[in-house]
Amino acid sequence: MSTTTTTTSTATKLRSDQRRWAPYAFISPFFLLFTVFMLAPVGAGIYLSLTDWAGLGEPEFIGLANYSRLLGDASFGAALSNTAFYTLFAIIVVLPVSLSIALGLDARGLKLRDFFRLVYFMPVVLSPIIITLIFGLIFDGQYGLLNAVLEALFGFGGVSWLTDPMWARVVVVVLVLWRWTGYLTIFFLAGLQAIPRELHEAAELDGAGVVRRFFSVTLPQLRPVTAFIAVTMLVNTAQIFEEPFLLTQGGPGEATLSVSMFVYRAGFQRHELGYAAAAGVIMFVIVFVLGRIGTRAFGVGRTR
Amino acid sequence: MELNRRDLLKVLGLAGLGVAGGGALAACTTQGCATPVSSGDALLDLWTHDPGYATFFTAAATDAALVGGSAWSFGVDVTSIAPADIVSRLITQAVAQRPLPQLAGLVIDQFPRVMRADIAENLFVDLTSLTEPLGDRLLKTQPYSVGGKVYALESDNSVSVMFYRADLFEQLGIPEDVDTWEELLEIGAGVAADTGQAIGMVANGDNGSIVNGFVQMLLQRGGSLYDADGNLTVVSEESVEVLELMAEGVRSGAFIALSDPYGGAAAAALKESQLIATVMPNWYEVYGLQANVPDQSGRWRARTIPRFAGGGHVGSTLGGTAFAVLKDQELTDAATDLLQRAYLSEEGQLARYHAGAYLPTLVELYQAPSFQQISDDYLGGQRVFEVYAAAAQDMPIFYQAAGASVLRDSLGGPILRAINGQIGAEAALTVGVAMYERQVQQ
């Protein structure tokens, strides 16, 4: 009697344990991968940021010295400022332009719609190497296409597009605009096509004009898409690397240096891996905070 | 035991940090020593960015004139890697205790990366015992030295000379033997005003090109970035004079400002005959002139660089690639033997010239008949070694230091502003050096 009770009790406990652990077993692959590929590198990066290490030998623990050095580093300040400029431009210019193009492509009766979609999406699938090579040819100060056109049309063409600090920044953001507008347009277009036509028709019957319909119907309906695009663009542009690296290598001087380029330069050109990690940690914090602010401001993930 | 998702995440996070920490600690050790092999087959792994070196070493490995009598039977397995990636991968492979090559080609501006934290000492064989007996006869060991020890042997002396369009010089009445920069600049200003053509170029694109162009002229003038002990010497009368001359050249039109001296803009300037002369190292003839304007074959000539009125040299140097031997490997001795035979013998240096026009580093070879007899068809059949010999005899010494890449980034912007006339030469150099010192001291 007692043995039977014990056996039953053990079996019950086993089933209970299985039920308790089974969900964790099912979700464990994600957590394992997340740990190996996210938490561990982040942890190692934070540890590295507290050391002085050139790559060989033993890292020397130096506490917060790398962070205090970053605070006084004019190059890092320039990189932060440039990155802020790129990010602001992406949000203020690229997003509205993408939406405008999407509205154009969504217009009824538009001919060659697929062709236009292809054209706008093409920069996304082109190699950045090719893009920057062509941009270099267009914006070259001496022999560039743009200066030649300006010279022919307006009689002046001596703009140092890539060698003047201000113009070099402008060219980088033009490249960002050209490269990413089409990509974002596709998202907006998908959002626009999901808006029920009846809403526009109802607004039209109520006497709303084109502008009123845009602000009262289109924009509110696009809010989830806009929020996703804005946050994604914010986070991506804050980590911009390819465009300035390939087009200007951060120059002239450090006029187009981004934070990602700063990290790359410190880590892989100067072998200051601890310093690079500290800059990377700061960039991570900034991007994380901006992402959170953006997510909250745009209400990403909230139910309507 | 109660376990929720948050606890599970914490446990896994701690485990991950443990794994990362363990990995980091394991990475702190460098590769252990392998038992050296003293003879037999030696298939050497070689990393380089330049197909010319790949061709040369592959041929040299089986060339009886070079490797005859060696205890090893050589073979070479080449891996092509971009210049910056070679150093990065050498370090990461060493840290991860993964296989390293026996020979690695290091571009000169990448070498400062291994000058800090004993990286060169830990990775490479000290080749001083090979170079010391040659004394001053062996050129360009200084840029690849750390603490007085030589860790790589230069492949190409990279002697800078002035290439010029002989046909256009004649047409424009420019003497081919102008003695000083000051005279040539005056003539160049007149030519620019009349025809819009330039007798030189300065780079105004990336920091590397801007500073390289400045350094080439600075070395010729007798100045330098660093002294033999690695102390910064960039703020000097010579530097100011050179920068002022560059700015004056751009202002007068004698020099054309190009974003990339090796790219599309330079090619266009050459094709349109807007750039009719330029001071560049010997390799520019192949990679710059012959590559971009093969149709101008026979019209170009080379001469030594006009001196500065204030003194200096008739030669200079820019660029270069040296080969280092990775230490503590089975075939380290074999690689050292092949490098010595290929790089420190007359036969090897002649073979290198024929493989890729790489100039010898043994100074007496410039006078050797085997080199003096060489004529260059692209340069109108000119006996180029008459020019290279004069330049090599008077070539300035180039020193590097661990902070060279910081200096390049610090000086690039101010030098560009000085070239554009936005700031004075001395002020530009002072600003650049102040920025450099802030970063290096920190």
**pLDDT tens for residues B38-54?**
888 999 999 999 999 99
Q: Confirm whether A56 is domain-assigned.
A: no
Q: Is residue B139 part of a domain?
A: yes
Of B306, B335, B361, the domain-final residue: B361
A residues 148-207 closer than 8 Å to B (CB): 160, 162-163, 165
- Position B10 in a domain: no
Q: How many CB atoms lie within 10 A of CB B45?
A: 18
Compute the C-alpha angle A219/A223/A224, nearest 5°.
150
Burial readout B301-313 (b: 16 or more C-beta within 10 A, e: otherwise): bbbbbbbbeeebb
Looking at the domain assignment, is residue B21 inside a domain?
Answer: no
User: Are B75 and B61 a contacting pair, CB within 8 Å?
Assistant: yes
In whole angstroms, give the CA distance from residue B251 to residue B205. Answer: 17
Looking at A8-17, A78-87, B136-145, which range is the least confident one?
A: A8-17
A134 → chain B, closest CA residue: B264
Q: Is B253 found in the same domain as B150?
A: no
Chain A partners within 8 Å of B428 (Cβ): none
A127 at interface of B, judged by CB pairs closer than 8 A: no
At B156 the pLDDT is 93
Of A235, A283, A302, nearest in space to A91 by CA: A235
Q: What average pLDDT score do residues B422-439 get?
A: 93
- Pairing state between β A60-61 and A51-52: antiparallel
Residue of A24, A47, A163 with shortest CB distance to B205: A163
Q: Mean of the pLDDT values across residues A275-281?
A: 95
Query: Which of A31, A142, A162 is the closest to B12 by Cβ?
Result: A31
Residue numbers of the domain that contains A153? 68-298
Confirm whether A77 is domain-assigned. yes
Average pLDDT over residues A248-271: 91
Q: Is A56 exposed, middle or buried (0-12, 13-18, 19+ CB in 10 A)?
A: buried
Q: Hey, CA dihedral for A268, A273, A277, A279, is it positive or negative?
A: negative
Interface of A with B in 90-109 (CB under 8 A): none
**What's the full length of chain A, in residues?**
304
Q: Do A32 and A78 belong together in one domain?
A: no
Summarize the confidence of residues B277-284 as an average pLDDT.
96
**Rounded distance between C-alpha atoms, residue B414 and residue B423, angstroms:** 8
Same domain, residue pair A77 and A206: yes
**What letter represents residue B396's amino acid?**
P
A90 and A190 assigned to the same domain: yes
What is the domain count for chain B? Answer: 2
**Domain of residue B269, CATH code:** 3.40.190.10
Name B200's bridge partners: B255
Do A156 and A112 belong to one domain?
Answer: yes
Shared domain check, A126 and A33 = no
Domain count, chain A: 2
Instruction: State the pLDDT at residue B22.
Output: 45
Set of chain A residues whose Cβ sits within 8 Å of the Cβ of B437 = none
Q: Pick from A43, A69, A270: which is nearest to B20 by CB?
A: A43
Q: Are B325 and B103 in contact (CB under 8 A)?
A: yes
**H-helix or E-strand containing B160?**
strand B159-165
Residues in chain A closer than 8 A to B15 (CB atoms): 35
DSSP string, B354-395: HHH-PPPSBGGGGGSHHHHT--BTTTTTB-HHHHHHHHHHTP
- Among B70, B20, B28, which residue's Cα sits nearest to residue B342? B70
Say yes or no: A40 and A187 in one domain. Answer: no
**B17: nearest CA in chain A?**
A40
Distance from CA of A209 to the nearest CA of B (A): 51
Coil, helix or strand at residue B126: coil
| Rounded Cα gap, residues A182 and A102, in angstroms | 9
CB A75 within 8 A of CB B55: no
Least confident segment among A178-192, B123-137, B384-398:
A178-192
For residue A57, being part of any structural domain is answered with: no
Secondary-structure breakdown of chain B: helix, strand, coil percentages, each rounded to the nearest 5: 50, 15, 35
At B309, the pLDDT band (50, 70, 90 cuts) reads: very high
Q: What does the alpha-carbon distance between residue A303 and residue B166 come to, in Å, rounded to a whole number?
A: 77
Cβ atoms of B132 and B344 closer than 8 Å: no
**Exposure string for B154-188, b = 16+ CB within 10 A, e = fewer:** bbbbbbbbbbbbbbbbeebebeeebeebeebbebb
**Phi–psi pair at B366, nearest 5 degrees:** -65, -25
* B90, pLDDT greater than 70: yes
C-alpha B209 chain-centroid distance: 12
Say if residue B94 is in the same domain as residue B59.
yes
Task: Decide if A102 is inside a domain.
Answer: yes
In a domain, A60, yes or no: no
Say if the Cβ atoms of A35 and B16 lie within 8 Å: yes
Residue A217 lies in a domain: yes
Same domain, A42 and A167: no
More confidently predicted of B77 and B34: B77
pLDDT tier at B24 (50, 70, 90 boundaries)? Answer: very low
Chain B residues whose beta carbon lies within 8 Å of the beta carbon of residue A139? none
At A151, which CATH number? 1.10.3720.10
Taking alpha carbons only, the member of B247, B274, B164 closest to residue B427 is: B247
Residue B7 has pLDDT above 70, yes or no: no
pLDDT at B11: 56
Chain B contact probe: residue of A13, A56, A60 with most B CBs at under 10 A: A56
CA dist., res. B277 & res. A21, Å (int): 78
At B194, is the pLDDT very low, low, confident or very high (cuts 50, 70, 90)?
very high
Ramachandran category for residue A132: left, alpha or beta (phi over 0 → left; psi -120 to 50 → alpha): alpha
Same structural domain, A181 and A99:
yes
Name every residue whose Cβ is closer than 8 Å to that of residue A285 and which is 6 or more positions away in sequence. Answer: none
Nearest to A301 by CA among A224, A218, A234, A230: A224
Which residues make Cβ contacts (< 8 Å) with residue A64, sequence separation at least 6? A50
Q: Which residues of B touch A77 (CB under 8 A)?
A: none
Is B441 a residue whose pLDDT tops 90?
no
Mutate which: B93, B111, B439, vs A, most A CBs within 10 A: B439
Residues of A with Cβ-Cβ distance to B265 under 8 angstroms = 140-143
Between B3, B263, B409, which is nearest A254 by CB?
B409
pLDDT of res. B6:
60
Helix (H) or strand (E) run with residue A285 in it: helix A273-298
Distance between CA B346 and CA B66 in Å, rounded?
10
The pLDDT value given to residue B25: 39
Is residue B377 over pLDDT 50?
Answer: yes
Does residue A148 lie in a domain region?
yes
- A74 with A193, same domain: the answer is yes
pLDDT (0 to 100) of residue B58:
95
Q: Which residue of A has its CA nearest to B117?
A: A54
Question: Which member of B15, B88, B264 has the closest CB to residue A140?
Answer: B264
d(CA A46, CA B21): 11
Regarding whether B191 and B163 lie in a shared domain, the answer is yes
Mean pLDDT over residues B242-252, rounded? 97
User: What is the distance between the alpha carbons of residues A290 and A297, in angstroms, rounded to a whole number?
Assistant: 10
**DSSP conformation letters of A191-210:** HHHTS-HHHHHHHHHTT--H
The pLDDT, as a whole number, for residue B29 is: 41
Any domain includes B281: yes
Q: Are residues A56 and B119, on separate chains, in Cβ contact within 8 Å?
A: yes
| Chain B CB contacts of A69 below 8 Å | 442
Domain presence at residue A132? yes
Structure-model confidence comparison of residues A24 and B429, the more confident one: B429
**Least confident residue range of A91-95, A98-102, A247-251, B3-7:** B3-7
Contact A141 B3 (CB under 8 A): no
Same domain, B96 and B173: no
Cβ neighbours, 10 Å, residue A132: 20
- Which of B104, B326, B114 minimizes the C-alpha distance to A56? B114
A-to-B residue pairs, Cβ atoms closer than 8 angstroms: 155
**Range with the poorest average pLDDT among A73-77, B25-29, B235-239, B338-342:** B25-29
Q: Is residue B85 part of a domain?
A: yes
Q: Give strand ranges (E) for chain A.
A: 51-52, 60-61
pLDDT grade for B93, boundaries at 50, 70 and 90: very high
Does A145 contact chain B (CB < 8 Å)?
A: no
Taking 50 as the threshold, does the pLDDT of residue B61 lie above it?
yes
Do B51 and B127 fall within a single domain?
yes
Same domain as A21, residue A154? no
Please, what is the angle between helix B404-419 and helix B425-441, to 10°? Answer: 160
Cβ of A35 within 8 Å of Cβ of B119? The answer is no
Structure-block tokens of residue B279: 């001071």
- CA within 13 Å, CB half, B34: 17
Residue B14 lies in a domain: no
Q: What is the pLDDT of residue A4?
A: 61
Distance CA B405, CA A296 (A): 42
Alpha carbon distance A279, B378 (integer Å): 50
Residues B53 and B63 in one domain: yes
Helix (H) or strand (E) holding A45: helix A40-48
Could you tell me if B366 and B159 are in contact, meaning their C-beta atoms sit under 8 angstroms apart?
Answer: no
Residue B370 maps to a domain: no
Of B122, B263, B412, the CB nearest to A251: B412
Contacts of A62 in chain B (CB under 8 A): none
Greatest alpha-carbon pair distance for chain A in Å reads 107
Cβ separation B3–A162 shorter than 8 A = no
Quote the percentage of chain B above a pLDDT of 90. 84
Q: Is A270 on the interface with B (CB under 8 A)?
A: yes
Cβ distance B409 to A41 less than 8 Å, yes or no, reads no
DSSP assigned state of B111: G
- What's the mean pLDDT in B172-182? 95
Instruction: Look at A143 and B265 and tell me if their CB atoms are within 8 Å.
Output: yes
Q: Whole domain around residue B83: which residue ranges?
A: 40-157+319-361
Half-sphere exposure of A120 (CA within 13 A, CB side): 24
Residues A72, A43 within the same domain? no
Of all helices (H) and strands (E), which one includes residue B153? strand B153-154
Complex prediction ipTM: 0.80
Nearest alpha carbon to residue B185 among B198, B172, B168, B167:
B198
Q: If contacts are CB pairs under 8 Å, which of residues 237-266 in chain A contact chain B?
A: 248-255, 265
**Tens-digit pLDDT profile for residues B315-369:** 999 999 999 999 999 999 999 999 999 999 999 999 999 888 899 999 999 999 9
Q: Is residue B261 assigned to a domain?
A: yes
Residues A39 and A136 placed together within one structural domain of the fold: no
Q: Average pLDDT for residues A129-140, to the nearest whole number?
A: 89
